[in-house]
Structures are given as C-alpha cells and as structure tokens.
Amino acid sequence: MNLALGVDTGGTYTDAVLIRDQEEVIASAKALTTRYDLAEGIGNAVAEVIQASGVAPKDVGMAALSTTLATNALVEGQGGRVALVYIGFGERDFDKHGLANALQGDPVLHLQGGHDHAGQEAKPLDIDALSAWLETVLDVSGFAVAAQFATRNPAHENTVAEMIRDKTGRPVSCSHHLSAKLNGPKRALTALLNARLIGMIDGLIRRAGDKLHDLGIPAPLMVVRGDGALIGADFARERPIETILSGPAASIVGAGWLTGVQDALVSDIGGTTTDVALLRGGKPAIDPDGARVGPYRTMVEAVAMRTTGLGGDSEVHVVSEGLDGGVFLGPKRLVPVSLLAEEAPDVVMATLDEQSRRTTPSELDARFVRPVFGVDAGGLSARDKAVFDRVDGVKPVSEVLRTRIEVGSLKRLQERGLVQIGGVTPSDAAHVLGLADAWDAKGAELALGLMARRRIGSGQMLADGPESLARMIVEQLTKQTSLALLESAFAEEDDGFDGAAADLARHELLQRALLGHKGLLRLDAAINIPVVGLGASAPVYYPAVGESLHCEMVLPTHAGVANAIGAVVGRVSMRRSGTVTSPAEGRYRVHLETGPEDFPEAEAAMLSLERVLTSEAEEAARASGAGDLRIQCWRDIRHSQVEGRDVFIEATITAEASGRPRIATDPV
C-alpha cells in the first residue's frame, strides 16, 4: 500500500489528506492556520489526519505541501532585505516593470558589464567596483544578480554570483536561472523577488520537515509549483519564486483528479479570496505573460488565475448611500465574530450584549481586535505603540481607540501583521442561517443584529434583523462570485470580445440575459462549461451561483480539501529552455550556461541544445524525486522571408522531464 500525504496552508485553515495508491482519499483533516508560524498549523492538521486514518506514520511514503506564503508575502510587501547587482543596464531601465519600487530602498549597484544580443561582451565587467561595494553591504539576507542579455551569455552573472558567495556566504539569485527569455528588467525583478523570499520559504520548509519528523513521518517533503507541478524541497528553497500561486495551482490539479472533467472553470473559495482558473484538456491554463502577484508581473510560469478579494471571512461593508442600501463584501479579511466568540466568549459576548442595549448604533459595533504573537513590533511610532500596548488580548475596537486619529494607527498595526481585526463576515451569516455550525452561532446572531440596526439613505434600518441581514449577505456573495466567474469566462474566451472583462461581466445586456429577459427582445445567457466549486464553504454558497449562471455546478466530495489533494496527486515536471540564434549567414549559435557555441548547420545546433537541455531537465527531475521519467522536446522556430529566401532567425528549444514522485517503497 502506497500512502501519500498532502498539506495545504490557506488563509483560515490548514488542510491535510492521506491518499492510498493515488486512487482513494482515506482521511482528511483541518486545523486553524497559525500565521505566526505556519508549521504549527501544519503539524496540527497532519497529526489529526494520521489519527483519523489509523495508519502508522512510518508508512507514509510521500509528503507534499502547497502554500500561499510566497504569494501573500509579495502582496503584503514582506520578505528579507536584499541587494541587487544590476549589470550593463541604463538608468531608465531601472524604473521598468516596478523594479525600483520592488527594491523598497534596499541596496543596488549599477555595474559596468553585460553582453549584446549575440552573446558577445558589450563592456568588461567592473570587478573592482563590485569588490568595493560588497564591503559596504553587510545587513542583507541575500543578493539578486541580473545582467544585460544574460540569457545569451551568463558569464558576467556567474562571475558576480561566485564573487558574492566567496565574500559574503549569502545566497545569490541569478536572473538567467529563473527564465530563459529576454527582457532584462523583468528578469531582474523576478530575481529580486526570489532573493527576498529565500529565507522565508527555507524557514517554512525546514520547520514543516521538522514537524513531520517529530510525528514519525520519514517521507521527504515536496512543494507545489505555481503551474501545479511538484518540485523537491531543495529546489523550492533555491527558487521560492516558483511557488507563487502554489495554492491555487494545487486546487486546479485537485479539481481534475476529483471530478475527471476535462474542460471547466474552477472556482475555489477560501477564507480570504476566490480564485478562478480554466481547466482545459484536463490541464490548467498557463499565463503566457508570467505570473502576476500584487503589483508585480514576474517571468514565472504559473496558472492563469483571476483572484478576487472575496471569501468566507471577507469584511461586510454597509452601503448606506441610496434609498435601498445594501452590503458589499471584501476585499479585506476579518476574523469572524463567531470564531472570536468561541475563542474569547467572556469578552466578546459581554461586549455584544452591552452594545445591543445601546439605543444608538455605532460603526464600531461588533468590531474587535486581537494581537498576533511572534511578530517583530520594532520601529513603531509612539502613537502606534501606545495603541498596540492596549491590545493585550481580544478587545473591542471601541475600547482600544481613544481618538479618531488612532484609527490610522490601528490600520498600520494591521498592515504590519501585528494585530487582526474581527467583525461581521459571510461565515457569521452562514452560522445565523444554520448553514454552518463550526463556531458560536449566538455571537454571530448578536453581531448581525447590531449591524442590521445601521441606517441607510432612506433613514430605515439596513435589515429587519439578523436573519434578514444574513440572507442579504449570502445573496451578495452569490452575486460577487457570479461576476468573478463571468470575468474569467470573458478573459479566457478564444474568440475575444471588445472591452475589459470586468466591464463585459457587468454589462446590462448580459445581466438582463441572465435573468431571462423577455420583451420585444428575448435575451438568454449562461456559462457554457461546467463550474467546479471548491473550498469548505462551496457546498453552502455555490448551488445558488450555478442557478444564477444557468450552468452545471460540480461540487465534488472532498471539495473542502482539494488543494491538499492537488498537492499530492501532481507530477514532478522540470523544464529547461534555450535559444539558437544566427549572428551571421551560415553560423548558428547555441547559447549555453558555459557560453555561446557556434555550428555550421541549424539542425546540428538545435540537436546539440536539445541534448544539453534534456540532460539538465532529467537531472533536475530526478533530484526532485521523480521516477519513470517521460522526456519531451519542443521547437519554436522563427523564419523570415528576405529577397524571396527563407532565412533562419531564431529557435527556442524546450525540454521537459516529468514523472510521478517516487514513493518511499518505489525502486530508485
């Protein structure tokens, strides 16, 4: 019996599953995500799934992890302090693709050097300037190195990286290792973000591995890459940037395994976000422009994903303008009041009771704050520190804030990750309606009752009571989820439409068609492929979404742990790409790690590059734990017509080695 363990760290829960022989889920478990140390939540979830399954920990032959850590860190501007060596580029190139903003004031050296498009040295590398600068850079966790046309000749990047390692002992991220494509500033951005993440991901993998070892699980840990493939822990430590969108990618792989559908929109609702992607031919669609995370467009291959700040724990905003009023959800996440009432019942219930007795409603009703332990609180201003010192446990926000100006202090503390804000969420609405029972329903009812008293433009109350408001919140979640799916459908249409996907999804004609308008015109519209709903709350909210979009809504068993399933049923896949150019007639140049190499024939050059790339991909796949490898190569050849002749311009060669991860009982 082959047992494989899959783990996913989400915004609210950490999930774990055990799968037997890649065919059957034998147990699953959830534990609250511990943001101060993700490994604690991982350990709790794994311990629960081992206990629920009754299997011996030593029999687990493989473990895989999907995580939102890298994605969230980039979105929230977190990560280590790093330094960038920028070789051969002009000053104007530095502002492209958000590179200057991404540095956040960290050290940068504009160094003479670089190559031209043919791989010839443009200017000699200024070793003396590098040596002198390294003496001044003492407080960084790592370095990023990017040189002009390094994908055509990486010699200067390699020389600088070796010198940095010798002098500092710090990890170095070279841009040509992360992408074989041109566009130096974008490659530099990718290397910079990779360097910033190394310490964080290394810590998570090390701590998670320790937790598995403490539980008696000997299996090596693998990590889900942003395109859904699996990579070894050592590879993930070296190139953590490749784990961005790891969680969403795992959910799509899990959806395919759970349902067997080949073409579908996959919508995964979590605590914080809803992620929508296209499954086409059984595989996730890949973003051709590189993964976008927050404000950054990287050169990392990842799933084409549209992420909306909409989840079970999204903040509920009261829309007081207009005669009808209403609610809007997101994009920020709150701790549900029902969860806080479970954790600190004395404080929360007493506060809600006292606020309910007041005759005048307040915007701070049912709002709480709690500290996040284990986060460095250094560098706070005097005002921010005074507010932070008052948060010594779960507290009403009205008790923590003493002046209006302190609202900004609380916001800054939240952005630093030092505190979490609690308030009304869709999860609370679900508890009021009896659709969920994990936490304190009475606390949720009191909180929604307080919000329902708020006044709208007509002077009337927002809702008649807790149940009326709860239905309003669930209906709004259905509406916003439907819009997210429509946006994705428009964005992925083969036959594109004029206009932005967001505008098209909200167009009056489409919305009237979805309602089945019948007048002088008859209008009908629907999502024309199945929608697979994932996430623990999908069975609660998504049937109504399917009805509103007139589509087949597939809600698989184990939808709540699809990410963890995707983490363990994926394949190891390693790709290596390279380029053949023609700097002169009758000369074909292969651009290698060791430098350019010329051939008299195009076919000989391409075959030589294929051999090198295949060997590198195969070696990387085996190092990541793959067995029974399948090797594939692709050629993308560009020609041009010159005076009636077919002229070779360039060829991009890609080699891929893929295979299932070896289980501990498999032969090597």
Distance CA 367, CA 421 (A): 7
pLDDT at 36: 75
Q: Strand 335-336 to strand 419-423: parallel, antiparallel, or no bridges (unpaired)? A: parallel
Please check the confidence at residue 549 and state whether its pLDDT lies above 90.
yes
Token duo for residue 197: 């993440």
DSSP 593: T
The residue-averaged pLDDT of 101-109 equals 88
Token duo for residue 436: 């969920």
Element (H, E) at 44: helix 38-53
Distance CA 590, CA 588 (A): 7
* Token pair 């295949």 in the structure block, residue: 614
pLDDT at 55: 93
Please check the confidence at residue 376 and state whether its pLDDT lies above 80.
no
The residue-averaged pLDDT of 461-479 equals 97
| pLDDT one-digit tens code per residue, 603-649 | 999 999 999 999 999 999 998 888 889 999 999 999 998 888 889 99
| 542 and 533 Cβ atoms separated by less than 8 Å | yes
SS (H, E, C) 594-646: CEEEEECCHHHHHHHHHHHHHHHHHHHHHHCCECCCEEEEEEEEEEEEECCEE
| pLDDT one-digit tens code per residue, 64-90 | 999 877 877 776 677 788 999 999 998
The residue-averaged pLDDT of 470-485 equals 97
Burial of 410 (0-12, 13-18, 19+ CB in 10 A): buried
* Token pair 């009475």 in the structure block, residue: 442
For residue 580, give the 3-state DSSP assignment. strand
Distance CA 54, CA 1 (A): 14
The residue-averaged pLDDT of 494-521 equals 94
The pTM for the full model equals 0.80
Report residue 665's pLDDT band, with 50, 70 and 90 as the boundaries.
Answer: low
Distance CA 423, CA 577 (A): 49
The residue-averaged pLDDT of 28-33 equals 91
Q: Roughly how many angstroms between the first and final C-alpha of the chain, as a whole number? A: 17
* Token pair 């793959």 in the structure block, residue: 626
Mean pLDDT of the chain: 91
Distance CA 207, CA 185 (A): 34
pLDDT at 150: 94
pLDDT at 328: 96
Angle at CA 352, nearest 5°, toward 411 and 539?
80
Distance CA 505, CA 497 (A): 11
Burial of 557 (0-12, 13-18, 19+ CB in 10 A): exposed
DSSP 220: P
Token duo for residue 146: 């990017």
Q: Strand 419-423 to strand 572-584: parallel, antiparallel, or no bridges (unpaired)? A: unpaired
pLDDT at 664: 59
Report residue 416's pLDDT band, with 50, 70 and 90 as the boundaries.
Answer: confident
Please check the confidence at residue 668 and state whether its pLDDT lies above 50.
no
Distance CA 182, CA 194 (A): 18
Distance CA 335, CA 315 (A): 9
Distance CA 62, CA 659 (A): 14
CA distances to 221, 268, 287, 372, 649 from 630, rounded to whole Å, are 22, 31, 24, 46, 30
pLDDT at 667: 41
| pLDDT one-digit tens code per residue, 216-269 | 999 989 999 988 999 999 899 888 988 888 888 898 999 999 999 999 999 999
